[in-house]
Amino acid sequence: MLILPSRRQVLTGLGASTLAAGSMAAYAFAIEPRYRLAVTRYAPSLAGWTPGLSLRIAAIADVHVCEPWMPLDRVAEIVDATNALKPDLIVLLGDYPAGRRVTWKPVALSDFARIAEGLRAPLGVHAILGNHDWWEDEAALDAQKGPVEARRVLEARGIPVMENDAVRLVKDGRPFWLAGLADQQPFWIRRDRRSLADIPGTLARLADDAPAILMAHEPEIFPKIPDRFALTLAGHTHGGQVRLFGHSPFVTGRHDPRYVYGHVVEGRRQMIVSGGLGVSNVAVRFGVPPEIVLVELGAQFSA
């Protein structure tokens, strides 16, 4: 016998569903993007990595400083949390300003850089640029050349910004290279698909055979990265900002699903894509809280 629910039962069920949906929306809009902060750890075993070279890298991606989602006190919290990890090296993976769609009140990039100057690591803090660093700089877009404001303010605070360049670093007497690509989508907001990333030019900067790590803002370039780079660190995707059951449903068609989030292994090459810290396009996060990525390399960490 089929028993139909009463009107009261239907209304109660609808009310509970509406309340649950409202609670989820409030969490995604007001709680996760603004107040959650995770540390996501990876300890990959890299091909060609120097035996005995143990290295802790903290990666910060997609800060998107703005009110109310990423105010200066939130940036200071991220700086303190990063320093508490005691990394050997800190990398900033681009997109320091927020897009206009989510910004209620702009925050000056010079103020962001002043707080970012507080990051501390024995091997330094090194940065690259992202698409929003270009998109939010009208003068650079009009001239179609840099340096963009983000580069100027970071370097004024002693944080070098690499665009198709590399630096040789040494930890415990063992050298390695850190390289950074220029942005791949600097003019896309003007419907110009040119990329500034120069892989051969960056590769030419590596003057010996010490292992190399590459910073690239957009992860879709990964299939073009040669085996010479043992590890690529990327951001840009925010992990999709909404992530359900290991999938990011709202970035389909805009990003290669293989490269949206997490640890990617293709042959000898590996990539880690950060879920980032800020928001873009839509001011929500659900299932992919803002994160600092900590990469621990060497037998000391992977054992």
pTM of the model: 0.90
Kindly write down the DSSP assignment for every residue of the chain, as one continuous string: ---PPPHHHHHHHHHHHHHHHHHHHHIIIIIHHHH--EEEEE----TTPPTT--EEEEEE----BBBTTB-HHHHHHHHHHHHHT--SEEEE-S--BPPTTT-SB---HHHHHHHHTT---TT-EEE---HHHHHT-HHHHHHT----HHHHHHHHTT--B-SSEEEEEEETTEEEEEEEPPPS-TTGGGT-------HHHHHTT--S-S-EEEE-SSGGGGGG--TTEEEEEE-SSGGGSB-BTTB-GGGBTTB-GGGSSEEEEETTEEEEE---SS-BSB---BSS--EEEEEEESHHHH-
pLDDT tens for each residue of the chain, 303 residues long: 445 555 554 334 434 444 444 566 678 777 888 889 999 999 999 999 999 999 999 999 999 999 999 999 999 999 999 999 999 999 999 999 999 889 999 999 999 999 999 999 999 999 999 999 999 999 999 999 989 999 999 999 999 999 999 999 999 999 999 999 999 999 999 999 999 999 999 999 999 999 999 999 999 999 999 999 999 999 999 998 888 767 777 765 567 888 999 999 999 999 999 999 999 888 999 889 999 999 999 965 544
